[in-house]
Structure 1
């Protein structure tokens, strides 16, 4: 079952060398474990998505250039689709950004 993407969830670009956490700024009231849920509008370079180290295409700093999140949930927060750990975002340079590690904490029973 897909998990929700929340603030500090680790993202990775398949052309970058380093994962980076997402910073949620698109909404301010829906949260899980005290962290805001991400939406499809959390795609601003250097605000929501930080650089991914060195870009394998440009051979320089992997500054994200996100185009659009795909595979978002049908559920909306203030008219914006929420992101899931299966969501991906194309980069206009040629990479694909995806979730590598959820920030959600689950208790085992």
Structure 2
């Protein structure tokens, strides 16, 4: 079962050396566990997605250059598709940005 992505969920770039949390700014009212839910508009470099350490392609700072989130939910918040733990975003430099682990806490029965 796919999980929705929320503020502070860790992202990784397969060409970067360290993960970074996503910062949700695309909407301000839909929350899960008190954290804003991420949408396809949360892709601005250095605002929503911080650098991923050192880029293995450029051999310098891994500044994200997200193109467009793929594998999003069919559901929308304010006309923007929700991000899932299976969502990924190609980087213009050549890497692939994806989710390390969703930040949600589910209670198992």
* Structure with greater proportional strand content: 1
Normalising to structure 1: TM-score of the pair?
Answer: 0.99
DSSP-derived class of the 1:26 partner: coil
Show CA shifts across 1:86-109 (max 9, x none): 000010000000001110011222
The answer to whether the aligner puts 1:63 opposite 2:63 as a matched pair is: yes
Instruction: Flag structure 1 segments of 5+ consecutive residues without an equivalent.
Output: none
The residue number in structure 1 matching 2:99 is: 99
Show CA shifts across 1:9-45 (max 9, x none): 0000000000000000000000000000000000000
Instruction: Flag structure 2 segments of 5+ consecutive residues without an equivalent.
Output: none
Normalising to structure 2: TM-score of the pair?
Answer: 0.99
The residue number in structure 2 matching 1:19 is: 19
Show CA shifts across 1:65-104 (max 9, x none): 0000000001000000000000000100000000011100
Structure 1 runs of 4+ with >3 Å offset: none
